[in-house]
Amino acid sequence: AFLFRPKTVNFSNTGTEGSRLGLDHLLWDEMKEVDVGRHSVLLTRCEGKYSAIGNQCTHYGAPLSKGFFSGNKLRCPWHGSCFNVLTGDLEEFPGMDSLPCHKVQTGETQRRLKMGAAVPGIIHNILLLGGGAASLTCAETLRQENFGGRIIMVTREDLLPYDKTRLSKVTCDTIMLRSMEFFHQYDIEVWLRKEALSVDMDKKMVTFDDGTVQNYDQLLLSTGSKGLDLPGMKLDNVKMLETPEDARQIHASCLGCNVVLLGTSFVGMEIASYLLDKASTITVIGSSEVPYQNTFGLEVGKITMMMLLEKDVRFHMIDSVTEIRGMNGKVKEVVLKSGKVIPTDVLIVGIGSIPNTEYLKGTKIQTNSKNFVIVDKCMRTNVPDVFCAGDMAFFPLTIAKNQLVNIGHWQMAQAQGKIAALNMLNKATELTSIPFYWTVLLNKTIRYAGYGEGYTEIVMKGQFQFEERKFLALYIKDDEVIAAVGLNYDPVVSAVAERLLSGKVITKEEAQSDDPSWLQVS
């Protein structure tokens, strides 16, 4: 992408707009932050070429001067977005836009990737089921690659695509990703409040819940997942966080109340953190020993649990809810397997999810035992012209030696959407992205890169107590680092992601060393 048209700023060895920049003193593979008017610009020297790109990441505005720079790539310190310093192009997600790329007066040329629109006379329909990160990125990539046919994005929601990673962190009016004008400009049709009921893959037809039928030439399955529920969910003030309206209701209903959170996933812990200054009491119920145990392990889970305990969040771990009791149609208390009864004004449930694949029943689509759709590295299903991306995809992960996995995170959904689009256009491209995700606790961001399943050891570094917490955990399998998680340890997690992407092994010995040179990719 992606669309970003910056003001052109001219640079030279003698300066810009009367200010000397000293480009002659910029070393190879070095970057330097400079201010040009009201704008922060990042000067880089890569492969002997000078470039000038915006210094703010287009995802959430992180200062890229604090990121990890190697080769012609610059990786954001916050969420791992990766940009080409010579062109500004977004090469690894998350994010929607490329960086502004300014002119440097050294005789070099710069290219910009622009988006096209539909071309009259081209009869080719690409139908995208779902309105999340994968579908939106797929649609934009198709137009960037000059696909001139019809693009239809269908979502059961009543909103245009929005940033779901922010539902538990901010108010809902700040999370929209694109305006309706954007979709009109690039001839991307968005059908709201419409849900697929069935797919005839022989006739290439999709039937929707309003009785309408739409044909397709190529189809993307990206309808995501939905939360698991349990008996008692229909009582008032029993909530799940899946939409902006859910977020609004949770915020309004929890003020001054006794809130119980069932589940210790990313979303559940973020909600606990968000509600600290809003709810009267917060109680967390989890089936594991500590939060995040399945992803981060016991050691890091203990640290996150301590962070919330210090803020008076109560935990009932290795436990579960056996009954939700109500009075006058409203939740009153929950009964735990241990026999404890917890007074409850609001119950927020986050105990896992299942893929939205009901409409695929009776089709030839191959799924696994949990109904996730199996795809190859090009996001192709076993049915010709049908692709799948996002939370419902079961795909081969390169850094896990092509083990089939499901990763329900925003960055990976965007990466898969792009790969699906390229392969729809017969531009053979395989998915190689490194999983990178993050969670926010007490206004501190914990970042994770890699795939840690099957790790046998964790190398821990840093300070783990009180406000000075700063830690890095490196996950080891077969004497190699396979994942990393960090708090206040930027940009090391981004550096690990880049090292994993390069295919260069980080050994256990390097991880244990105090010598940081192992972070270098080249």
C-alpha 8/C-alpha 100 separation (Å) is 9
Shared-domain flag, residues 184 and 280: no
Is the predicted pLDDT of residue 21 greater than 50, yes or no? no
Using the predicted structure, report yes or no on whether residue 171 has a pLDDT greater than 60.
Answer: no
Q: Which residue has the tokens 């916050």?
A: 78
Domain boundary among 351, 371, 387: 351
Q: Are 163 and 172 in contact (CB under 8 A)?
A: no
Total number of domains in the chain: 4
Q: Which residue has the higher pLDDT, 170 or 261?
A: 261
Nearest in space to 273 (alpha carbons), one of 302, 243, 305: 305
Structure tokens at 133: 């990160």
Q: What is the mean pLDDT of residues 163-179?
A: 77
More confident residue, 316 or 64: 316
Strand partners, 152: 127, 189
**Share of the chain residues as helix, strand and coil, in percent rounded to the nearest 5:** 20, 35, 45
Alpha carbons within 13 angstroms on the beta-carbon side of residue 78 total 16
CATH assignment at residue 510: 3.30.390.30
Return the minimum-mean-pLDDT range out of 6-20, 215-229, 302-316, 460-474: 6-20
Is residue 163 one of the residues assigned to a domain?
A: yes
Task: With respect to residue 460, please indicate whether it lies within any of the assigned structural domains.
Answer: yes
- Supply the range of the domain harboring residue 327: 238-351
Residue from 71, 70, 47, 44 nearest 55 by CA: 44
Residue 19 has pLDDT above 50, yes or no: no
Where residue 110 falls among pLDDT bands split at 50, 70, 90?
A: very low
Do 446 and 414 fall into the same domain? no
Q: Flag whether 282 is in a domain.
A: yes
Asked if residue 459 and residue 370 are part of one domain, the reply reads no
pTM metric for this prediction? 0.83
- Concatenate the DSSP letters of all residues of 147-205 into one string: --SEEEEE-SSSS--B-GGGTTTS-GGG-B-S-HHHHHHTTEEEE-S--EEEEETTTTE
Q: Give the three-state DSSP class for 510.
A: helix
Cβ–Cβ under 8 Å, residues 373 and 391: no
User: What tokens appear for 88 in the block?
Assistant: 């500004």
Instruction: Say whether both 336 and 272 belong to one domain.
Output: yes
For position 282, which CATH number holds? 3.50.50.60
pLDDT in the model for residue 386:
99
* Same structural domain, 273 and 417: no
